[in-house]
């Protein structure tokens, strides 16, 4: 758990969100079903009846997730077993922070190649936020986006996207960073990858909300807070 907590801290500093740390394969299977992470970092040696490779084999029967193995069990037998699960990377302990960072970036690029080719013209600098609007710098211009016109923000690696009325923008900052700056009376983070404008919610379902015909995932733990906020909004 100490090693896992250290890795979690490193990933958070890089702008990623860690959905949780678990020590048993059975817990990992339940966690993946509930939180649906984008990438799984798996140690081969786990507590309980299942080792990491067996856990991934069971996991892959339910959902197709990219897996990176982090392990001290780097002998040929374990490698051959791990290889049968088609992992995206196999990193031996001890490893350098840069090794893990590069492995994750390669996984992301393989899953969505466009992420590795972000055009500078599409990027906007960190916004200047006022009570009723957001100003973002794009090239040499300052673009004004009214708070009331913003539908939602979506995480995109170390960036985040603004989806607004007649205007979208990719910000050079993480979703966590923009969440800390937004006026809380208007916005709520309802999922690890989404912040919504409460004034544009059209429908609240069990696992998602609808904004402008877009279904946005809703974390179970945040549903009660969302309903409370909508009643007082």
Q: What is the pLDDT of residues 69-91, one digit of tens each?
A: 998 877 888 888 999 999 999 99
| Region of poorest pLDDT, from 42-56, 91-105, 106-120 | 106-120
All domains of the chain in start order, with CATH: 2-112 (3.40.50.2300), 126-232 (2.40.50.1020)
Q: What is the pLDDT of residues 129-140, one digit of tens each?
A: 888 888 887 666
Question: What pLDDT score was predicted for residue 139?
Answer: 64
Residue 119 has pLDDT above 50, yes or no: no
Q: How confident is the model at residue 112 (pLDDT cuts 50, 70, 90)?
A: low
* Cβ-based neighbour number of residue 151 at 10 Å: 19
Chain-centre distance for alpha carbon 145: 25
Strands 67-71 and 40-42 turn out to be parallel
Q: What is the pLDDT of residues 36-65, one digit of tens each?
A: 888 999 999 999 999 999 999 999 988 888
Measuring CA to CA, which residue among 56, 22, 58, 18 is closest to residue 38?
Answer: 18
* Cβ-based neighbour number of residue 69 at 10 Å: 26
Beta strands in 88-213 (DSSP E): 89-92, 123-124, 128-129, 133-138, 141-146, 150-156, 159-164, 167-171, 187-191, 194-197, 203-204, 208-211
The whole-number average pLDDT for the span 187-200 is: 95
């Amino acid at each position: 758990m100490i090693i896992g907590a250290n890795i979690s801290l490193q990933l958070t500093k890089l702008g990623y969100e860690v959905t949780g740390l678990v020590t048993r394969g059975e817990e990992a299977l339940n966690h993946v079903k509930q939180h649906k992470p984008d990438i799984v970092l798996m140690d081969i040696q786990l507590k309980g009846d299942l080792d990491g490779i067996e856990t991934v084999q069971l996991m892959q029967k339910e959902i197709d997730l990219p897996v990176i193995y982090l392990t001290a069990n780097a002998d040929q037998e374990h490698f051959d077993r791990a290889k049968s699960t088609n992992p995206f990377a196999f990193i031996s302990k001890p490893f350098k922070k840069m090794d893990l960072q590069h492995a994750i970036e390669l996984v992301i690029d393989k899953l969505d190649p466009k992420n590795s080719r972000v055009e500078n013209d599409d990027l906007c600098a960190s916004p200047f936020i006022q009570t009723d609007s957001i100003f973002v710098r794009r090239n040499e211009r300052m673009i004004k986006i009214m708070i009331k016109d913003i539908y939602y923000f979506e995480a995109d690696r170390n960036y985040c996207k603004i989806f607004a009325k007649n205007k979208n923008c990719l910000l050079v900052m993480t979703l966590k960073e923009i969440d800390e700056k937004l006026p809380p009376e208007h916005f709520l983070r309802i999922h690890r990858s989404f912040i919504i404008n409460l004034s544009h919610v059209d429908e609240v379902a069990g696992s998602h909300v609808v904004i402008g015909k877009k279904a946005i995932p809703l974390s179970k733990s945040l549903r009660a807070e969302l309903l409370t906020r909508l009643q007082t909004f």
